[in-house]
Each structure stands twice: as structure tokens, then as C-alpha cells.
Amino acid sequence: MRVGALLLGLGGLGLCGLGCSGRTDSSDHACRAPCEVISSSGARELRADSTGLYASNQSRIGGVIERIYPADASDFRVTLGVNVIGWLGLENGRVFWDESGLSGDDFYDVLYTASVDDPTPLGLVTLSSTLRNAVADDTNVYFSLDSSTMPLARVDLAGGTASALTPAWGNTWVGIDATNVYFTDQGIEEPTNLDDPNVAHCELRSMPIGGGSVTTLFVGDRGDAINGCDPIAFRVYAGHAVWMYAEADGTISLMQVPVTGGSATTLATNVAGDAGWFALDDRFVYYLADASSPMDLMKVPLDGGTPTLERTLAPAPFSIAIDADHVYWSSAEQADSAGNVTDPGSIYMAPK
């Protein structure tokens, strides 16, 4: 609680312990109400919606997924074994996660879910390779795998056998809305030279949620300034497909394409590239600028525009999440040179 105590002493400042970092503009959100430590027991990934803030936490002896906020919602808690918790999702009143491990020499990865009203876990499907991400509607879970044989699949919410949705070449991420499944697909053919299989490009594609033909919404050549060929994270929200990708020079950018198709819009450049480091609401994409601690949480309109500072976060986040009223972030676990944990990490909350 060392950080929390520091907060109490700096109650009028806009950061957890670091003031406004020299910024004096009265409209600067870094100088807004101070943040609050809501957990000091460690956390990795964060997800938030109207039912609360959920966090995964992995230790050397096991893991846990729990609802952290609001305080009276702490009845959701799933205690896990020593398997590694990978991805964490929150969709349609359900929490999703995957656990991976070894059985003898064989790798396995299992996709789980639990209702936000009942933390009893349900194993949905054993995966053939590592999960990238998953989304869900009222009947099915759609997920992408780090696999060239079945990169895109779905499984019933009650569990069962996964079925492939459509062929894809890989580096695939998936999203849905009420009518369609959307996915990124890194191809092996140049759109302008279909006889050359050696140059990759990237497509944003869609297909009806009940099955049907695939529509290509966007194609970016690897040589383009907007290429999107190495997706790091992907979301579909409010009529937009947004993804984080690696540029040829190694920097990370954000771009969006309307789900109806059209031109890509670069939303931001030089962003911190991690799947847990951007979030969306109905109007904005929130992301972290690529810098050391403290890090600036920026926001940019979904349709494009000038990024603005939302708040400066310290310590540097491991993951971020937002809901209608708050920004949340978790700090990474710290260990000494011998590997002993000196700080399990904390979760912070601040008003938007």
C-alpha cells in the first residue's frame, strides 16, 4: 500500500504520485482528479463494462480472475491452477479466458467462459494452438488462433467441437457485430501480382455471422505507408474495425476502416504496441504513447482527428481498460535479481 499512502499525501495532484509532470494547461486532463489504488494484490490483463472491472492475475503457484470494482461486486472470482492464463475477454455478460500448459510433451490451450453472475467456469473447447482473441454473441464464440491450419473458428457457447469458419493465411484477429464476422488476414499473394506468392499483404474481410460468402473490405500492400500487415491487436466497435500494427520501421500505429468498407484512416503513430494497451468507447480510441514511465494515455476520435491527452499514467501500465466513467490501468509485477517478487503490481482507477 506504499503507493496508496503516497496518493493520500498528494490528494490534489492529477497523477498517482507524480503531479502534472510540468504541464500547466488548465484543460490538460493530466491535471484532473487524482487516481485511486483499488487493488494491490497484482494484476495482468484488465477488461471493463457496465458490470464492473475484471482482472486476471498470474503467480508462480496459480492464477485468479476476479471482479475488482465496484467493491460490492467482489463475488466474481475464479481460482485457477498452475496453468498459464493467456488472453482475457469480456463479452455479452460473460468473461472468457484461455489456459495453456503441457501434458507430458504435448502443448494444450483450453478456452473457458463464466457468466458475470456465476463464476463457475465452463471449458468450451481444447484448442489446437495458441489463442489470439475471441468474441461472442448470444449463441457462439468466434476465435482466432496462431495457426495456419485453422486460424478462424467458432464454438457453441455451451461448448463442443470447434468448426472452421473460412480459410485464412494467418496473423488473424476476429471481431463481430450484429450481422457479420470481421477478421484480418495476412495473405501470401500481392494483390497487383497474383502470380507472386512471396510477398504478403493484409486484408480486412467479413462474412455473414450465420455463414456465407467472404467480402474483402480493405487490402493493404506491405509496401504501403498504411499496411496493417502485422496486426498486434484488433477490435470491432461502433461501426469501425480498429487495429494496431507494426510499420516497416518497427514503430506501431493505429488505423481504422469502416465495417462497410472503404479507405483506411491512420488514427495515431508511435503508439505503445501491446494488445492490452488500447480500448474503445462509442466515440474514441484510447491508447498509450510510446514512452517510458510515466506514459500518456491518449484518445483520438474513431473517425480520425487530432489525438489529445486524456491522462498521464504512472507507474507505466501493463494493461488499460475503460468504462463509461473511469480509466483503469494495472502496473506490472516487479522482482529482484534473484527472481523474488518485490511488488506484485497494483490496479489504479481515475475519472475520465
Q: Please report the domains of the chain, with CATH numbers, ordered by start residue.
A: 1-32 (no CATH), 35-72+319-352 (no CATH), 166-314 (2.120.10.30)
pLDDT at residue number 292: 65
Mean pLDDT, the chain, rounded, equals: 79
pLDDT of residue 170: 63
Model confidence at 212: pLDDT above 80:
yes
Evaluate if residue 21 carries a pLDDT over 50: no
Using CA atoms, how far apart are residues 125 and 160, in angstroms rounded to an integer?
Answer: 6
Query: Quick one: average pLDDT of 114-118?
Result: 94
49 pLDDT higher than 90: yes
pLDDT in the model for residue 230: 62
- Condensed to tens digits (0 to 9), the pLDDT of residues 216-262 reads 888 765 544 344 456 778 899 889 999 887 776 778 889 898 998 88
Per-residue confidence band for 194, with pLDDT thresholds at 50, 70 and 90: very low
Average pLDDT score over residue span 304-308: 94
pLDDT in tens, 105-114: 777 889 999 9
Q: Write the pLDDT tens digit of every residue in 141-182.
A: 999 988 777 888 999 999 999 998 876 666 688 999 999 999
Nearest to 191 by CA among 166, 241, 167, 227: 227
Question: Which of the pair, 3 or 145, is modelled with greater confidence?
Answer: 145
CA–CA distance, 227 with 165 (Å, rounded to integer) = 25
Residue-level pLDDT at 314: 74
Give 200's Cβ-side CA count (13 Å radius).
15
